[in-house]
Structure 1
Amino acid sequence: MRLQQPFTYYAVILSLFLVPLVSYKTYIGPLPLSAEVVMIPLLTIAAIVDYAQKRIALNDFNIKPIAVAFLLYFIIAVISLTQAVSLAPAAMELARYLSYVVLFLIVVKVRFTREQYIHFAKVFGLSVLIIGVYGIVQYIFGISLNTAGLYALKEAKGRVDSTLVNPNYYASFLNFVIPTLVLLAVVYFKDKKAQLLMFALYGIYVINLVLTYTRAAWVAMIGGFVLMVLLIPKDFIKNAVRPHILLSFVVLLTVVYFMPDVQSRTYSALYAMEKILVRNLPGHVTDTDHSQGEGGGFFTQEPEEEGKAEDEATTSRAVVSRVTLWKTGWVMMKENPILGVGIGNYLVRYKDYVTKYPELYIGHDQYSVHNSYLKVGAETGFIGLAAFLAIYVIYYVYLLRLYFSAANRLSKIVVIGLIAGSATFMVQNLSNNLIFIPQLNTIFWLVSGLAIAFVHQNKEKPASMQQ
C-alpha cells in the first residue's frame, strides 16, 4: 500500500521526536551509534528517494550563501588534517560536521505543506513536554541526578539533565526552546485556557533550567528574554499584559526565587561575571582575592559572612579553572595561527601544551576548552575560525531578513523565538563546547531549518490565515 506522505515527512517526524528524547549511545567498534547517527542518514536516504520519485519538491529559499560558507569551512578543515597528530578523531569530527550540513540543507529546502509543519510542531512539542516533565520527576525522585559541581550547592539534591546527558547541554536546549514557548503563551494564543496551558509548559522549562544549576544558562535566559522583548512588535504587547498572564509571571518568579540554592547560585553567577569581566577592564586597580574579604571588588564593599566568603572562594577557583582552559585554547591557536593543530585534535594535543606551559595545568591530561570558538580556532587556525563564524553570520542574516519580511503573527513569533533561542545557544558556546555535542547540535540545525523554511514559505500568506 502506497504511503500517503513522502518518506522524508516520516523521517522528520521521527527525528523531531526521538533525537531529543533518546540519549542512549553505544559503539560498534570505533563507530558511535545513537538516535541522531541513525536518523540523519535515514532522513537523507528518504529525501533522495522521494526526490527521485518526485514525491517531494524544493522551495525557492536561497541556500547558496550558507552552502558556500559550509563548503569553505569544510575545505579549510580538510587542509588542517595536514597538521593532525591523530586522524581518527579528525575523521569523526568531519563526519559529524557533514551530517549537520546535509540535515540542515534538506529540511530548509524541502517544500512541506502548512499541515505538515503543524504536525512537526505538535510532535516536537510532545517531545518537549515529555522532556520537561521528566526533568521535574528526575529531581523530585532523585533519578540519576548529575553531581558534578555540587561543591557550590548546599540545598540541592543534584543537577537535572533529563534526556540531554549533561546539565550544561540540557540548559542550552531549554534556552533554545524557551523564547518560543513564552511567545506562544503570551502573544499568540488569545484563548485564556490555551495561554495558561502554554505558560505552564514555559514554567516547567524555566524550573528545569533552574534545576540544571548552570549559571551561564541563567544569564543567557535573561539575555534571551530581553532580546525577545526588544524584537516583539508593539501591537503584540497588549496581549502580554493581561491580568492572568501578569499573575502567572509573579507566581513563577516567586516559585523560582524560593527554589533550593537559587539565591546563593545567583549571587555566585554575578560574582563570577565580576571576576571575569570587571577585573579585566582598563583601570581596574586591584586583583585581591575576594575570598579573603579584602578590598577592590564591587561585592566586597560590605562585611561578609563566613558562608558567603566560602562561596566566593569556591566560585573564584571555578573561574580560575575556566579561564585557564580558555588560555590553553588561545595559546594553542596563537602558536598554530594558519591551520591549527588539525580538526578534532584539540584533546590529542592538550597534554603537550599543559606540559609545555605548566601554569596551564589544572590536574588533567585531557580537558575540554569549554569554548566552541576557541576549539575551532585551535584546531583550524584563525582562517578556519573566520570561516566557521561566517556560517552563523549568514544564518543570522537569514533570520533578520525573515523577521522584517514576516507578514503574519505566527511567522513573526517563530522567527523571533528562533533569533532569541539561537542567541542563547551562541552565547553559551562561549563557556561550553555545545556546537560539538551531536544530540544538541542536531536539534539546533533540524529545528532551525524547519523554522526558516516555514517562515519563508508562509511570508506571503495573509495574517488572517495564521491568527
Structure 2
Amino acid sequence: MFKRLFNISIYVFVILVPILPLKIKLGFLPLSADFIIASILIFFGLCYLLFEGGLKELYNLKDKGLRKLNLFIGLFVFLNIISFFIAPNKGAAISESLRFFEYVFLFYFIVLLADKRTIKRAFMLFFASMVVAALYGVIQFIFGLSPYTVNRNIRLNSTFVNPNYWGAAVNIVIFYPIVDMIKERKIKIYNVLFLALFIFNLLFSLNRSSWLAFLLGLFVILLIENKKFIAILPAFILPLIAHPFTRKRFITLLSIEKITKDARFKLWKTAYLMFKEHFVLGVGHGNYRYFYDDYIKRFPELFVRKDLWSPHNSFLKMFAEMGIFGGLNFMFIYIMLFYLVIVVYNKTREYKVIALSLIGFWVSYLFQNNFNNLMFIPQLNVFAWLLTALLYKAYVLEAEEEF
C-alpha cells in the first residue's frame, strides 16, 4: 500500500509543483507545494521501508556511482551543523537546511524505491505539466497577464515566481524535442510544436542569462552528438534577433561597457567581501540577508536600488554563508549530480535521449547559477535533484535487467 502511495505522490509532485507557485512560511518552516508534497512522499517511502519490508532496498545506496555524492552530502551535514552554531539567525539556518535536506531525502527515496513504470510515467507527466505551464505563458503574452515588464515590454513568468526562474525552468525541457529529432534523424511535427512553444516562452522571459545558458547547453549537446550539427546553432540565435526588443536585449550582451555597469557586479562584490571577511566558516547558512544591510552601509557604492538584494550567484552565496569549505563542498555536490547524468548517458541504451537532454539542462543550469540564485528556488531546484534521481534509478534498473 505505502509503495503505491509513494508512486502516486511522485506523480502528484511532478504535475503540481511546476504549475503551483505556492510559497509561504510558518515561522522558520518553509511551506510550498514542493515541500508539502515532498514531505508526504518521503513519509510514504519511510513507511514502506519500515512496515512493508522495504529495508532490503537500502542496498541501492551502496551503488558505486553514488559513493562520492554520499561522501560530499555527509560532509555537508557536518559543515551544516557547525554553520548552525555560528549563525546569528538560527531560524534562517534551520529554514535553509530543511530546504536542502528536502532535496537530499527526495533524491535518495527515489533512488531507493522508484520502479521502471513509475519513472517513465513521472518523466512523461513532468513534461506534460511543463507544456501546460508554457501554454499559460502564451496566454500571459496574448492578454498581458504578466506583472513583469521591461521598458513596457512584457516579460513572461508563467507559473513561476519571476521571469528569470521561468527562463531557467524552460531550459529543463527545451532540449528534449531537439535531442529526440537529432537521435531519430527526422523532424517530427509534435517535436517542432513543443520546441516552438518552449522557444517562445524562453524568448519572452527576456532573461538574457537563460538565453546564453540555452545556447551553451545546446552547443554541448551538439558537440557530444555530432560536431557537424554545430552548424545549426546560429539558427537558434535568429529568434533572438527577430523581435526588435529581444534584439536590443541580445545586443547588450555584446557590450563590455554595459556588462561591467550591470548591477550584478555590485551584488557579486558584496557577496565576495562577505566571504573574504568570513573566509573559513562564513556568516552562517541562510544568514546572507541578515548581513547585507551592514555591508551596503559600510560600502554605500554597492547599494542597488533597494535595501535587500540576493547575490544573484548561488555559488558566491554559499561561499559567503558557509566559508571556503562549505562553498567548495556545495559545488562538488552539484558537480556530482551532473556527473551521474553523464555516467548514465555513456552507459545506457534505453535512456539516451533523456540523458543527453539533461546534460544540456545541467550545463545551462550550472552556468545560469552564476547569474541567479536558482539553487535556492525550490520550485526550480528540486527538479535538478528529482529528474537526476529518476534517470539514475532508471539506469540502475536497466543494468540489472541486462545482468
Q: Same fold (TM over 0.5)?
A: yes
1:413 equivalent in structure 2: 353
Q: Could you say if the C-alpha distance between residues 180 and 415 of structure 1 is closer, same or farther in structure 2, counting changes exceeding 3 Å?
A: same
- More helix by percentage: 2
Q: Could you say if the C-alpha distance between residues 105 and 68 of structure 1 is closer, same or farther in structure 2, counting changes exceeding 3 Å?
A: same
Aligned equivalents of 1:233, 1:403: Cα separation in 2: 15
User: Are 2:337 and 2:385, in contact at CA under 8 Å, matched by a contact in 1?
Assistant: no
> How far did residue 146 of structure 1 move?
1.2
Q: Could you say if the C-alpha distance between residues 133 and 185 of structure 1 is closer, same or farther in structure 2, counting changes exceeding 3 Å?
A: farther
Identify the range of structure 1 (348-357 vs 74-83) with the bigger mean alpha-carbon deviation: 74-83
AA matched with 1:333:
F
Aligned equivalents of 2:169, 2:139: Cα separation in 1: 18
**Structure 1 unpaired stretches of 5+:** 276-311, 463-467
> How far did residue 134 of structure 1 move?
0.7
Question: What secondary structure, in the 3-state scheme, does the structure 2 residue paired with 1:204 have?
Answer: helix
Q: Could you say if the C-alpha distance between residues 185 and 199 of structure 1 is closer, same or farther in structure 2, counting changes exceeding 3 Å?
A: farther
Aligned equivalents of 1:446, 1:401: Cα separation in 2: 16
Query: In angstroms, what is the RMSD of aligned CA positions?
Result: 2.6
Question: What secondary structure, in the 3-state scheme, does the structure 2 residue paired with 1:324 have?
Answer: helix
Aligned counterpart in structure 2 of residue 341 of structure 1, from 270, 278, 283: 283
- Partner deviation per Cα, 1:417-442 (whole Å, 9 max, x = no partner): 11110111111110111101111111
1:220 equivalent in structure 2: 213
> How far did residue 129 of structure 1 move?
1.0
> How far did residue 263 of structure 1 move?
1.1
> How far did residue 378 of structure 1 move?
0.4
Aligned equivalents of 2:80, 2:202: Cα separation in 1: 34
- Partner deviation per Cα, 1:252-273 (whole Å, 9 max, x = no partner): 86655423512111101222xx
AA matched with 2:16:
L
Q: Pairwise mapping of residues 135-150 of structure 1 onto structure 2 (< 5 A)?
A: 135-147=137-149, 150=150
Aligned counterpart in structure 2 of residue 102 of structure 1, from 96, 100, 105: 105
User: Are 2:28 and 2:91, in contact at CA under 8 Å, matched by a contact in 1?
Assistant: no
Find out whether 1:452 has 2:392 as its counterpart: yes
2:81 equivalent in structure 1: 78
Aligned equivalents of 2:360, 2:148: Cα separation in 1: 27
User: Are 1:17 and 1:123, in contact at CA under 8 Å, matched by a contact in 2?
Assistant: yes
Q: Could you say if the C-alpha distance between residues 93 and 10 of structure 1 is closer, same or farther in structure 2, counting changes exceeding 3 Å?
A: same
Aligned equivalents of 1:328, 1:31: Cα separation in 2: 27
Aligned equivalents of 1:387, 1:72: Cα separation in 2: 8
Q: How high is the TM-score relative to the length of structure 2?
A: 0.90
Aligned counterpart in structure 1 of residue 183 of structure 2, from 187, 201, 206: 187
Question: What secondary structure, in the 3-state scheme, does the structure 2 residue paired with 1:32 have?
Answer: strand
Identify the range of structure 1 (436-445 vs 449-458) with the bigger mean alpha-carbon deviation: 449-458
Q: How high is the TM-score relative to the length of structure 1?
A: 0.78
- Partner deviation per Cα, 1:376-397 (whole Å, 9 max, x = no partner): 0000101111111121232233
> How far did residue 217 of structure 1 move?
0.9
2:273 equivalent in structure 1: 331
Find out whether 1:38 has 2:27 as its counterpart: no
- Partner deviation per Cα, 1:186-244 (whole Å, 9 max, x = no partner): 42486x6xx2102211111111011010111111111111001011168x97xx99xxx
- Partner deviation per Cα, 1:39-68 (whole Å, 9 max, x = no partner): 111110111122331479737444332122
2:333 equivalent in structure 1: 391
> How far did residue 184 of structure 1 move?
2.0
**Structure 2 unpaired stretches of 5+:** none
Aligned counterpart in structure 1 of residue 6 of structure 2, from 5, 8, 11: 8
Deviating above 3 A after TM superposition, structure 1's stretches of 4 or more consecutive aligned residues are 26-32, 54-62, 252-257, 459-462
- Partner deviation per Cα, 1:9-48 (whole Å, 9 max, x = no partner): 1111111111111012334455333211211111101111
Question: What secondary structure, in the 3-state scheme, does the structure 2 residue paired with 1:261 have?
Answer: helix
User: Are 1:139 and 1:160, in contact at CA under 8 Å, matched by a contact in 2?
Assistant: yes
Aligned counterpart in structure 2 of residue 128 of structure 1, from 121, 127, 130: 130
AA matched with 1:183:
V
User: Are 1:20 and 1:443, in contact at CA under 8 Å, matched by a contact in 2?
Assistant: no
> How far did residue 97 of structure 1 move?
0.8
User: Are 1:342 and 1:379, in contact at CA under 8 Å, matched by a contact in 2?
Assistant: yes
Aligned equivalents of 2:208, 2:49: Cα separation in 1: 45
User: Are 2:18 and 2:160, in contact at CA under 8 Å, matched by a contact in 1?
Assistant: yes
Question: What secondary structure, in the 3-state scheme, does the structure 1 residue paired with 2:146 have?
Answer: coil
